[in-house]
Amino acid sequence: MKRPDQDIMKYFSGVEEDEVRLIWEKARRKDQSGESAMDVNPEEEWALLQKRMQTARRPVRGVRPGTIRSRRPASKATAAKTYAFITVMAAVLLGGFVMWYLFVPVSMEAPRGEFTTFHWDDGIRVELNSGSRLTWNRSFGNGHRNLRLEGEAYFEVPPSGKSFIVETQTAMVEVLGTRFNIRSWADDPDGRTTLTLVDGSVRLASLLEPESHIMLQPGHTSHVDYHNRAPVEPQPVNTDQALAWRNQGFYFSGITMSEVAAELERRYDSQVVIQNEILRDRSLTIYLPRPGELDSIIETICFVTNCRFEEEQGTIILY
Amino acid sequence: MTKASDYQQWASKIRASDQKAFHDLFVDSYQPLMRYALNFVKDTDVAKDILQDVYAHLWDIRDRLDEEKSLKALLYRMVKNRSINLIRSRRPVRLDDVAPAEQPSEEMSPVSIRPGGDDLLEKQLSEWIESLPPRQREAFELSRFEGLDHHEIADVMECAPRTVNNHIVSALNTLRVQLKQWKSERENRE
């Protein structure tokens, strides 16, 4: 930027203004690292990115809905040909529509500040935490079973059902009859997906390294993220705590205050800003089975972390 | 410098899976982001990896891009967060990792043969900027070197735009005092 922002200049007048202009003009980056940035060719990096994105895209499964054939009378008359042509066109259009209907993704979401529960006919039950979204194809019931989750959800799957796959930003979870929780928030800086199994069995695989996968035992948790591309060693976990959100509770287990703030923002559909840098990176472990109003949670958290807060036009500021 | 409106146009095209817009954004923003990443990680290869991750993730989340929010700020924030995470996850750092990166600052070679007033001032300013309180310095550098506006800086630093204002004004005031002192010392010497 050639000169300071207008908002800034209005704080200075006369000589001060000239000094600020001089400072602005003469300010230089100190380190020479900036120079090496210029040695990198963006186009080369673009080619690498394309390659990476190609390999990341997994092959489409060979699933197709019942092929639609048109019944065409083998007539020699021109009129009949025209008629046949129309039939074919209609079939193609109908086929196209069916394809579109089956493959255009459907999604269900829990808006910020709300929870959503959903049942499928085959007994699969899903509960979504605030600010989460689950996407699937309408052909879900007929064999093509791929769900995509952004956020956090609890699944109950009757044992008789066929297996299906839940995909998140970093993980692939293959499901048999079971009850489990997946947590995978888009704003998590590590893109972490945490899987907690209540009972039954699930397979957790990394999206980035699909060959690394583990079977999880009931009462255990594991996760994958950008740093842990293979699922980490499963740890025993208190499932009541891990599933506290289903009863509007919170269980923060050693996560940073900025993640805590993001979670509170989603649940209460409000703004929680942390102004203190050190506080933002501080980790917090706390179990609040019945938290009540946002104010009281903030009070508890501030008591534990020894911070202060104020409310300003509906925004909560921690410092 | 690319206009803010360009970024927002790219954002809405990328949202609609426009590969060309994605490519344009990539080529245009790559080097500035590279330089920004090097503020944190000091190693070109590591910075390249971070940027690959950032752009790949951006493409993954393209359908969730918020056109109301600055795409530029989002990119800077992603680079910053990933860099910091990487640094944190690498701790404890091996000594031989760090040594090469710190050499330039220890050398402190004389900047030029004839230190004219302006060159000297530039060098001084860099040092003063470096010794500003971290948040003030970050706000100042994002504004001056990365050309982000106050709302974008607020996004990157995760604070209110008003706070950004305060940081930059405080930074400028500190620098002004140092500038004045430096000038009077020079005049006394002459």
pLDDT exceeds cutoff 60 at A198:
yes
CATH number of the domain at B1-109, out of 3.30.2270.10, 2.60.120.260, 3.40.1360.10, 1.10.1740.10?
1.10.1740.10
Note whether A140 and A122 are within 8 A (CB).
no
Give every CB contact of residue A1 below 8 A, 6+ residues apart in sequence. Answer: B1, B143, B144, B147
Most B-contacting residue of A2, A3, A6, A8 (CB-CB within 10 A), to test interface: A8
Contacts of B31 in chain A (CB under 8 A): 37-38, 40, 42
Contact A19 B169 (CB under 8 A): no
Chain A touched by B26 (CB under 8 Å): yes
Band of pLDDT at residue B99, cut at 50, 70 and 90: very low
Q: Residue B176 is nearest to which of A19, A30, A258, comparing CB atoms?
A: A19
User: What pLDDT does A88 receive?
Assistant: 81
The mean pLDDT of A178-182, rounded to a whole number, is: 88
Distances (CA, A) of B1 to B29, B155, B171: 10, 20, 24
The mean pLDDT of B155-179, rounded to a whole number, is: 88
Sequence ranges of the domains in chain B: 1-109, 110-190
End-to-end Cα distance, chain B: 40
For helices B150-157 and B134-144, what crossing angle results, to 10°?
A: 140
Band of pLDDT at residue B113, cut at 50, 70 and 90: very low
Architecture of domain B110-190: Orthogonal Bundle (1.10)
Architecture of domain A102-243: Sandwich (2.60)
Most A-contacting residue of B35, B156, B167 (CB-CB within 10 A), to test interface: B35
| Residue range A248-319, CATH number | 3.55.50.30
Report d(CA A180, CA A197) in Å as an integer.
4
ipTM: 0.77
pLDDT exceeds cutoff 60 at B110:
no
In B, residues 145-184, which contact A (CB 8 Å cutoff)?
145, 147, 149-150, 158-160, 163, 165, 168-169, 172, 175-176, 179-180
DSSP state at residue A80: H
Tell me what percent of the residues of chain A surpass a pLDDT of 70: 84
User: What pLDDT does A69 receive?
Assistant: 34
CATH 2.60.120.1440 boundaries in chain A = 102-243
CATH 3.55.50.30 boundaries in chain A = 248-319
Dihedral over Cα of A217, A222, A228, A229: its sign? positive
The mean pLDDT of B110-114, rounded to a whole number, is: 38
User: What pLDDT does A115 receive?
Assistant: 84
DSSP E strand stretches across A193-233: 193-206, 213-216, 220-224
Chain segment A50-91, per-residue pLDDT in tens: 887 776 554 433 333 333 333 333 445 567 777 777 888 888
Contact A26 B144 (CB under 8 A): no
The mean pLDDT of B72-79, rounded to a whole number, is: 91
Chain segment A5-59, per-residue pLDDT in tens: 777 888 888 888 888 888 888 888 766 555 677 778 888 888 888 887 776 554 4
pLDDT exceeds cutoff 60 at A142:
no
Contact A48 B55 (CB under 8 A): no
**Identical fold at B1-109 and B110-190?**
no
